[in-house]
Amino acid sequence: MNAWSPETYEVLEASGWTPERKVDTDRWRSMFEGAGLTMHTAAQAFLQGFGGLSVNVSGPGISCARTPFELDPELVLGEDDRFVEWGKSIGHQLFPLGELDHGRFLLAIDEVGVIYLVETWVASFGPMPQAMENLVLGIAPRRIDEE
Q: Tell me: the pLDDT tens digits for 57-81?
A: 999 999 999 999 999 999 999 999 9
Calculate the average pLDDT of the chain: 95
Q: Please determine, for residue 106, whether its predicted confidence score (pLDDT) is greater than 70.
A: yes
Q: Tell me: the pLDDT tens digits for 31-50?
A: 999 888 999 999 999 999 99
Residue 2 lies in a domain: no
Residue 37 lies in a domain: yes
Residue 131 lies in a domain: yes
CA angle 93, 147, 73 (to 5 degrees): 30
Q: Please determine, for residue 1, whether its predicted confidence score (pLDDT) is greater than 70.
A: no
Residue 4 lies in a domain: no
Residue 34 lies in a domain: yes
Residue 9 lies in a domain: no
- What residues make up the domain containing 116? 22-144
Q: Report which of 141, 128, 143, 140 is spatially closest to residue 12, judged by C-alpha positions.
A: 128
The tally of domains found in the chain comes to: 1
Residue 31 lies in a domain: yes
